[in-house]
Amino acid sequence: MAGGVKKPVNIFKLKNLGEPKEVFNWRLWFAVFSFGLLGAARGVDEGLISGAFNAKDFQRSINYDSYSVYERANIKANVSSMVQLGSVAGALIAFVICDKIGRIWATRQLCLLWIFGIAIFMGSNGNLGAIYAGRFIAGLGVGQTPVVGPVYIAEIAPASIRGLCTCIFTGFVYLGIVLAYFTNYGCQVNMGDDTPTRWLVPTSLHIIFAGLIFILTFLQCESPRYLVKRGKNKKALEVMSQLRHLPQDHDYVHREVNAITLAHHEEMEATKGSGPLGILKEAFTIKSNLYRVGLTIGAQIMSQWSGAGSITLYAPDLFEILGVRGTNVKLLITGIFGIVKLVAAVLCALFLVDFIGRKRSLLIGITFQAISMIYVASFLTAVPGLDGSDAYQLSGSELAASRGAIAMIYLSGFGWALGWNSMQYLLTAELFPLRIRAFCTSLAMTFHFVNQYGNSRAVPNMLLPVHDGGISPQGTFWCFAAVTVIGGLWVWFFVPETAGRTLESMDRLFSLAWYKIGLYGNRDAEIQDAVANEKQGDGSIQLEGSSSNDTHHSVRKAS
């Protein structure tokens, strides 16, 4: 069981993968679904907050019109980005919580934080301090979701469909966005702008999702890899048997648990079981691990400053800048934008990420984004008077170009869902050894939310005209375009392909010098796979997993 790259996966023909048919069972999909729902935490907030903030009743409650243009931009940025700021702290503490109390209890406590923060926000009664505090506390919970969710899913999913399973988390991000967009639209159309229910009803989506996830955790088992890490090998074997729907003495179950156990023992031997300092040392002094840390942090920086996240957050305002008029129309177009991204995420999960691979899917998505950003930036440069005000009237040719720009925003969302937004979670969850996985994922997600906060906080000010201290809408999109192109080049040269590998075989991708890994890491890893397979063919390997006889098994070459 060398763990090398397998053939492309057709998710509609999983029985052809050469694995026991029982592996792809309802219990596995139910667990993936339950933890994939954590993706909705970000999606709901990103889809809701701009529409809720623009509600007249909400703005009246905080005396929004009494502030200057610059102060209003700052208030909007602060309210919108406060969840991201809280998420920085949430992501930073997630690895400690995840490793100390497990993936299941980590999920329960983050749901409680999430609900508590949103309750404060909904009961703020126009008090800006309470609004900021509530959204920050909610962020403490939301910030843990991209650590706990993808890590748990990656740890329970078979290697052949790990990409599909982890992308379900991304799919729920977009399901949350779509539900939020259309809830905003429905409340705007049916309740009007002058009642508190206009923004309170959509905001309650947070509590619905958090409550549902909390309940579902009581129907799930702890991650087998976490159990191995805690020395509970017999329990890990029992849980793996349940997840794979196979007997505990089945060869497939034993091979998988023993591979996890061996990998963990090798990591512990290498670090001699040292504590937190050992984790830091392993992450930052071992060159292959340091490279992986750099990859995940670079992915967060490039993805967040490519602009797609802020387009999701401020979609109604950006559509207005491109010439869309009327609150209802803006919200409807924004809702369609959410559907486009959801469809792209589904296509990526079903047909791309495990079929053509992570890297190709990422490069296709970045290409779509780059084309879109360059077009929108060029359009806004050619029509400098278009700043979202009703004073400027588009000519016939400009109106056609404006519709093209709106289409390009849709294309950018499609590319974002295919590329960066799927891969930033998947790569982060699957690259690292078990011992440092939670810490490194937490570190990466901290950078994710730091950059998301910086971007969401900066964009309202960036969109201001130059004379008001901004860089103008066209300058903002040129900035996004430049970062997107740089990100594409970075991926081409530095990111290796990880599709089809077991989590325990990822080390083989990072054996070369750092400047060769992105282009030649897979070729070198395949050579190591062949050597490992040959060694397995020479005889059985006894894995020292536990003192219990249940976790000792000979690993034989698969027939």
* Distance (Å, whole) CA 362 – CA 353: 9
DSSP string, 105-126: HHHHHHHHHHHHHHHHHHT-TT
* 490 and 515 Cβ atoms separated by less than 8 Å: no
**pLDDT reported for residue 547:** 40
Considering only 318-322, 451-455, 543-547, which range has the smallest mean pLDDT?
Answer: 543-547
List, for residues 10-29, the tens digit of each pLDDT value.
Answer: 555 666 667 888 888 999 99
160: alpha, beta or left? (left if phi > 0; alpha if psi -120 to 50): alpha
List, for residues 378-405, the tens digit of each pLDDT value.
Answer: 999 988 776 655 566 777 778 888 889 9
Element containing residue 541 per DSSP (H, E): strand 541-542
Q: Token pair 């790990």 is at which residue?
A: 162
Considering only 213-227, 229-243, 423-437, which range has the smallest mean pLDDT?
Answer: 423-437
* Distance (Å, whole) CA 503 – CA 271: 19
* Distance (Å, whole) CA 210 – CA 474: 38
Q: Is the pLDDT of residue 540 over 60?
A: no
- SS3 string of 180-234? HHHHHHHHHHHHCCCCCHHHHHHHHHHHHHHHHHHHHHHHCCCCHHHHHHCCCHH
Handedness of CA 529, 535, 540, 541 (dihedral sign): negative
**pLDDT reported for residue 31:** 95
Q: Is the pLDDT of residue 126 over 70?
A: yes
Element containing residue 446 per DSSP (H, E): helix 434-462
The alpha carbons of the chain give a radius of gyration, in whole angstroms, of: 24
This prediction's pTM: 0.72
- The mean pLDDT of 217-239, rounded to a whole number, is 92
pLDDT band for position 555 (50/70/90)? very low
Q: What is the widest separation between alpha-carbon atoms in the chain?
A: 79
Q: Which residues partner with 555 through β-bridges?
A: 541
Q: Is the pLDDT of residue 235 over 90?
A: yes
Question: Phi/psi at 18 (nearest 5 deg)?
Answer: 80, 15
Q: Is the pLDDT of residue 77 over 70?
A: yes
To 10 degrees, the CA torsion angle through 122, 126, 130, 131? 60
